[in-house]
């Protein structure tokens, strides 16, 4: 019997399996395209011949496929569904909170324990101090799996019993990453147009990490308490800076898609009368009209 089975051996699943092996765990692996398991066999993993064989081999199944639909296609195969009872499924593919809750409901019907996770790390970081994995689901289930899952990430955070909350937080983080990736890339294009080295720009921005960390903590507190009226910087000043960035982009004859979008959001906030408020009062024009937009906060996870 293995300590753990890893199903899905893409870039991330392979890194997860390697981390379990490095931690001395007996690791069983399976992948639809069997050749991807060869490198792990060489590293000491046991390679199962079918998904059902892999599931039967261990009490804990770590699943890291492309998406939740792929995870479900494996779990709901009758040969797997029949033997999943009594095991713990740890589902790490990206997806939505709705998908995570639906899989948890399916697992409960089949008599399996279920945790859902979201990975904030590159495959090369897995197993190291910089890797972060958020896990959602029942506290007792998380506690029972902590010693094993600690092999994967220096930061293993239980975000609460609502099994949808790891995916919800991943979505929230992805919103930030999306702006970060596009914003950084736009900055690199400015550097190229000005004869500056994008690699040096990357180093410069990495040095600004404490400033961003402080800003994120502050924005979180300000938004949570809805107290936007003691600004360190205002919506109006940020709007002016970003509007200028559109002009700069036009002058340099580079694309202005990102600053045009960002300026339009801050302009909406100014037009709505929030110009004198803290820059993150832009939240007010992003909230939309959903009745769920401000559910009561459920506990704390940091």
Strands of 21-79, DSSP E: 27-30, 46-47, 60-63
Q: Please state the closest distance from residue 281 (CB atom) to ligand FVH, in A.
A: 31
Q: How far apart are CA 122 and CA 12, in angstroms?
A: 8
Residue 62 as a binder of ligand FVH (CB under 6 A): the answer is no
Q: Is 25 assigned a catalytic role?
A: no
Residue 65 as a binder of ligand FVH (CB under 6 A): the answer is yes
* Binding span for ligand FVH by CB under 6 A among 60-68, 212-220, 254-262, 289-297: 60-68
Q: How far apart are CA 110 and CA 142, in angstroms?
A: 19
* Binding span for ligand FVH by CB under 6 A among 61-69, 99-107, 136-144, 149-157: 61-69
The CB-nearest residue to ligand FVH is 10
Angle at 168 between CA 140 and CA 114, to 5 degrees: 30
Q: Please state the closest distance from residue 45 (CB atom) to ligand FVH, in A.
A: 14
Residue 64 as a binder of ligand FVH (CB under 6 A): the answer is yes
Cα distances (angstroms) measured from residue 59 to each of 2, 74, 90, 145, 152: 8, 17, 11, 10, 17
Cα distances (angstroms) measured from residue 147 to each of 27, 31, 138: 15, 25, 16
Residue 67 as a binder of ligand FVH (CB under 6 A): the answer is yes
Q: How far apart are CA 150 and CA 3, in angstroms?
A: 13
Q: Please state the closest distance from residue 82 (CB atom) to ligand FVH, in A.
A: 18
Name every residue whose Cβ is closer than 8 Å to that of residue 109 and which is 6 or more positions away in sequence.
none
Residue 66 as a binder of ligand FVH (CB under 6 A): the answer is yes
Q: Binding string to ligand FVH for residues 7 to 46, with x set by CB under 6 A, is what? A: -xxxxxx-----------------xxx--x----------
Task: Select 47 or 196, whichever has its Cβ closest to ligand FVH.
Answer: 47
Of the residues 109, 150, 167, 284, only one is catalytic, namely: 167
62 Rama sector, left if φ>0, alpha if ψ -120 to 50, beta otherwise: beta
Spacing of C-alpha 127 from chain mean position: 16
Residues 133 to 152 in contact with ligand FVH, rule: CB under 6 A: none
Size of the site for ligand FVH (CB under 6 A): 22
Name every residue whose Cβ is closer than 8 Å to that of residue 200 and which is 6 or more positions away in sequence.
191
Q: Could you say which of 24, 122, 128, 257 contacts ligand FVH (CB under 6 A)?
A: 122
Q: Please state the closest distance from residue 248 (CB atom) to ligand FVH, in A.
A: 32
Strands of the chain, DSSP E: 4-7, 27-30, 46-47, 60-63, 88-91, 113-120, 132-136, 155-160
Q: Please state the closest distance from residue 51 (CB atom) to ligand FVH, in A.
A: 8
* Binding span for ligand FVH by CB under 6 A among 20-28, 69-77, 133-141, 216-224: 69-77
Q: Could you say which of 119, 134, 246, 270 contacts ligand FVH (CB under 6 A)?
A: 119
Residue 183 is classified by DSSP as H
Place of tokens 């990102």: 258
Q: Binding string to ligand FVH for residues 76 to 105, with x set by CB under 6 A, is what? A: -----------------xx-----------
List residues binding ligand FVH (CB under 6 A): 8-13, 31-33, 36, 64-67, 70, 73-74, 93-94, 119, 122-123
Q: Indicate which residues carry an active-site annotation.
A: 167
């Amino acid at each position: 019997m293995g300590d753990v089975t890893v199903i899905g051996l893409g870039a991330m699943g392979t890194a997860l399996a390697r981390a379990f092996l490095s931690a001395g765990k007996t690791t069983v692996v399976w992948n639809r395209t069997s050749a991807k398991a060869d490198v792990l066999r060489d590293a000491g993993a046991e390679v199962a011949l079918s998904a059902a064989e892999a599931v039967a081999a261990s009490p804990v199944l770590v699943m890291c496929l492309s998406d939740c639909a792929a995870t479900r296609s494996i779990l709901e195969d009758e040969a797997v569904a029949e033997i999943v009872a009594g095991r713990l499924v740890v589902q790490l593919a990206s997806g939505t909170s709705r998908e995570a809750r639906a899989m948890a409901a399916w697992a409960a019907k089949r008599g399996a324990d279920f945790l859902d996770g979201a990975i904030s790390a590159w495959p090369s970081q897995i197993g190291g101090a910089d890797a972060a994995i958020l896990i959602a689901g029942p506290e007792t289930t998380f506690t029972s799996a902590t010693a094993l899952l600690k092999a994967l990430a220096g930061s293993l955070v239980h975000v609460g019993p609502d099994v949808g909350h790891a995916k919800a937080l991943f979505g929230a983080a992805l919103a930030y990453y999306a702006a970060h990736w596009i914003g950084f890339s736009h900055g690199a294009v400015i550097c190229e147009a000005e004869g500056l080295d994008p690699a040096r720009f990357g180093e410069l921005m990495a040095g600004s990490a404490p400033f961003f960390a402080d800003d994120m903590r502050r924005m979180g507190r300000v938004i949570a308490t809805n107290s936007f009226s003691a600004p360190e910087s205002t919506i109006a000043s940020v709007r002016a800076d970003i509007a200028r960035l559109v002009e700069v982009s036009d002058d340099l004859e580079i694309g202005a898609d990102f600053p045009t979008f960002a300026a339009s959001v801050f302009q909406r906030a100014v037009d709505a009368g929030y110009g004198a408020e803290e820059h993150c009062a832009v939240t007010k024009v992003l909230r939309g009209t959903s009745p769920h937009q401000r559910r009561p906060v459920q506990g704390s996870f940091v």
